[in-house]
Amino acid sequence: MKALFKPAPGAGFEFVDRPEPEPGPADVKIRVLRTGICGTDLHIRNWDDWAASNIAAPLIAGHEFVGEVVEVGALVHDVAVGDIVSGEGHIVCGMCRNCRAGRRQMCIRTLGLGLHRDGAFAEYVVIPGQNVWVHHADVDLDVAAIFDPFGNAVHTALAFSVVGEDVLVTGCGPIGLMAIAVARHVGARFIVASDVSAERLALAGRMGADAVVDVSEERIADVQPRLGMREGFDVGFEMSGAPTAMPEMIENMNHGGRIAMLGLPSKPYEVDWGKVVTHMLTIKGIYGREMFETWNSMSAMLQTSPVLRERVASVVSDRHPARDWERAFDTAASGATGKIILDWTEV
């Protein structure tokens, strides 16, 4: 099979032939149709300090995908050959306290597909049957390919109730954009989005944001009066990891405000912990997706809301044949686009 392979530590990938993976009795083998390019994949290609300290090569990367089941292990239930599926990329131990308590997203021994074991940038991938998500309803293949990051957005957006609340979203990358669409679908009152990219702020408006803020030119506090807000934001989604984003968000929260933090900080920064205490703020870290409540939620919302389906689909800005992976990665690295898809039916 063709695969995007990193043969050894260092920058780059090779588009080469690799042996097809063989499933065990608890596994499912999937013919990959499309994959999404994630920021993590860019780190792995560049082999920066994070990748060098977290990834072991040789490796086939890639964890955002949709495909067709071609083989099912004898111990697997509720998955059939021919099913169109995506996959939960966090593979858990099943034996730690959190796993046994049904909190699998908090497993202390999590392995990442395409990070710690061969992933989906290939014509075939094998994952445990319990990680397979079957798309029982019709779903756009591009959307199905990004169920992983869409799940990040849904996990963040549903961390706290946003019904009738004023929501601040800092960072309008693809996950931030989808979180805006989910908050609008669920019933937020005002949604304000901030970024420094004019292109992404324009996308935020189309996702349902009531106001957008280029924080290189304007303060978030200046937008609140224009919307008739008087007491600050009730809920915040910190999606950027930018050192200035969390302090700015804290400054604009109402007393008792709740912050869901998905963005990984690019470097340490100071936080006004006194304000966190005196304003009784809650900050909750978000990682991955709840297994599998988030998957149920996002499938149900897409199935019942044509508007949300359209908005999530619009986050995909480009699709390239897998053989043109270098051009696709360069486009994704530009930071001025939505999600980039690789089509593995064109190798």
Residue 40 annotated to the active site: yes
Task: Determine phi and psi for 112, rounding to 5 degrees.
Answer: -100, 130
- Return d(Cα 124, Cα 32) in angstroms, integer: 5
Determine which one of 43, 63, 90, 320 is catalytic.
43
Of the CA atoms within 13 Å of residue 106, those in its CB half-sphere come to 9
- Set 35, 40, 110, 156: catalytic member: 40
Q: What is the DSSP letter of 344?
A: T
Residue 275 CB-density burial (10 A; 0-12 exposed, 13-18 middle, 19+ buried): middle
How many Cα atoms occupy the beta-carbon half-sphere of 236 within 13 Å? 31
Active site residue 294: no
From the number of C-beta atoms within 10 Å of its C-beta (0-12, 13-18, 19+), residue 278 rates as exposed
Spatial separation of the C-alpha atoms in residues 89 and 76, rounded to whole Å? 17
- The whole-angstrom distance between residue 266's C-alpha and the CA centroid of its chain comes to 17
- Cis amide prior to 329 (ω within 30 degrees): no
Q: Report the distance separating Cα 184 and Cα 108, nearest Å.
A: 34
Quick check: 193 and 238 in contact, CB under 8 A? no
Sign of CA dihedral 4, 172, 308, 148: positive
SS3 state at 153 = helix
Q: Among all residues, which ones are annotated catalytic?
A: 40, 43
